[in-house]
Structure 1
Amino acid sequence: MMLEGKVAVVTGSGGGVGREIAIHMALAGAKVIINDIGASLSGEGQSATPAQQTKQIIEQRGGQAEISTDSVASWDSAGKIVQSALDHFGRIDIVVNNAGILRDQIFHRMSPEEWDSVIGVHLNGSFYMSRHAATHFRKQESGAYVHITSTSGLIGNFGQANYSAAKLGIVALSKSIALDMKRYNVRSNCLAPFAWSRMTSSIPAETPEQKARVEKIMRMGPEKNAPLAVFLASDAAREVSGQVFGPRMNELFLFSQSRPIRSIHSADGWTPEKIAEIALPALRPSFMPLDRSGEVLSWDPV
């Protein structure tokens, strides 16, 4: 019961990784607001059924949960989600920013709408939810954020410029929250899930290589990500903030963050020609390759 007495809001918890996090937080003693608008993977349509199914599972296992079907993608509706925790349970201690949609498209064909809609849910939604909760976290001088990022942003992927930008932006948002709110005993961390869910079901599986990759991902259930989320939200992680983690089957990763990896100095300064002649050959061996996440994490999950 690591979350006994705490109240958690888990966005996008009508299915997949979000549902498993909500269930496990309830099993750990938290009272949970299940937030999900019940839309399709592309953000279309709306139904309370997914959230109701999560609530039923939690209550069948002896937990407490209520439902919010408001969207994270606008300031006012995100405020209603946070307020629902106060209305139902009297406080808020944990925010899990998990809600998301996909509009996969190769970059040179991506429309402004495909860009804006993904940024709106993932990045803006994470800010709106976090900012509304911050008012209450400051007053009580405690609180924990768990933001869901992705290796599409941390490493890279094809056809996901909008999603990748949003997910890497969430890492920067989390680090800023961790820095700004440390004085209030508020922590902020990121979790990059590895799981087969709606968010990964759109991965192409046409070539033999693609099919093999999808088969690996399908073996990774969304429930494998929940224990880390519970830990990061608990008082056991009181000294953990500003970090990026990834659970992959029975592996746990701590991801690096951007730091200088090589430097050279010229006492007379640099010209473009001098950079081409001296700096480029010196720095080139340390260039990062154009990898995708599946190429960096190439071994089979066990």
Structure 2
Amino acid sequence: MTTRTAALQSPGLDTSGLSTLQVEVARKLMPIIHAGRWSAGEKISDAALAREFGISRTPVRQVLQFLSDKGIIAQTDNRGFTLVRQPAAGENIDELVPPSEVDTLYRQIMHARANGLIGSEASEMELLDHFGTSRGIVRRTLMRLSAEGLAERRDGHGWRFAECLDNRQAVNESYAFRTIIECGAVMEDTFRADPDALAALEREQVALLNAPLASIEGSAWFEANARFHETVVSWSGNRFLVQSIRRQNSLRRMTEYAEFAELSEAGVRKAARDHLAILEAIKADDRKLASAILFRHLSRSHAGAEVKPAQRAD
């Protein structure tokens, strides 16, 4: 590897005053707030967010308290939290919550893999040389990628990255697998939609349907789509189906994340309408219809898979 990226932030420099974990939580939470999951005055459950993010409640509460200092969230008398307002159009998330060094390197590695700038295998020293950061940041980032199924340690000192969905066969197999998993999950006897989560997804999709395209960040659009599909599958109550869809979302993230900077208005609106139709069928307890719409939705996305990812319906 000969191309070096710009150096990351100096170790320990964090102008937000948050720890690395808290920064990562905040940067997951802000797009959800911006997407309209909660309306002004609505309660925000720190316990539910902790479950969603797979962490303890403490860092979630600390981030909510940080955002209360910014006037976005309010803390109630019973130590709960409510949304005060959505971030204003001029409030840049990078200024409000600067990315942690791990988050920055994570995104750089994803971009480099998606664009063929680093190979499918690399040593820590090669990554150090390529990205110009510290060994500790490289190791923590690799552990994050490993936890998401995107990298695994090779015998010796190297790492192997997951295959990107960057060829026709891999894309075909991914969509076929997703269709089996997602449509099957909806038809499981154990399928039970959570009313609060369903309402939150509806608000998020309505916000995407109605928001000016210029106000939707590519990463937020990708994560909203991934969150929708993972949540619907989670209602099956089958942990193995959930693990499978998370793995697929991680593979999609590796390949597509960097390319979601250019959004197609038709793609955004079409996906949001499909998602709302699926949720409406689930609310009506017509799971056959929900599965059929989901099948059509994924098939239509598959048919458009040769175009740029940002132009796909999902």
- Normalising to structure 2: TM-score of the pair? 0.29
Structure with higher strand content: 1
Higher RCO (CA < 8 A, seq sep 6+): 2
Structure with higher helix content: 2
